[in-house]
Amino acid sequence: MVTRLSKGLAAFGTRSLLTHTIMAVTFTGAVLSGLFVEGQLGTISFVAFVNFTAGMWVCQSIHSVGSAAAGEDYDGVLDEVRQYVQ
C-alpha cells in the first residue's frame, strides 16, 4: 500500500493537485466556520483555517519553485486537471 501510494505521488502534478485540494477544503472550512459557528469559537476556527490555508499556499509556492529549478515541466494546476479529465 505505501509503495503504491508513493508511486502515485511521485508525479509533481499529482502532488500539486493534492495540495490544491487541501487548500480548497480548508478554505471552505474557514468560510463555513465563519458563517455558522457563533462567538469566539467561530472566530478562532475561522482564523485557524485561514492560517492553515495560507501555509499550504506557501508550501505549494515553494514546491512549484523547486519543481521549476529541477527542470520539470509544470504549467499550472488547471492543466493538470485537464490531463486527468481527458
* Average pLDDT of adjacent 10-residue blocks, the chain of 86 residues: 62 79 95 95 95 91 72 64 71
Give the residue among 6, 83, 84, 17 at the shortest CA–CA distance from 56: 17
The per-residue pLDDT for 80 is 65
The per-residue pLDDT for 14 is 76
Domain region containing 75: 2-85
Question: Could you tell me if 72 and 12 are in contact, meaning their C-beta atoms sit under 8 angstroms apart?
Answer: yes
Chain Cα centroid distance, residue 26? 9
The per-residue pLDDT for 8 is 61
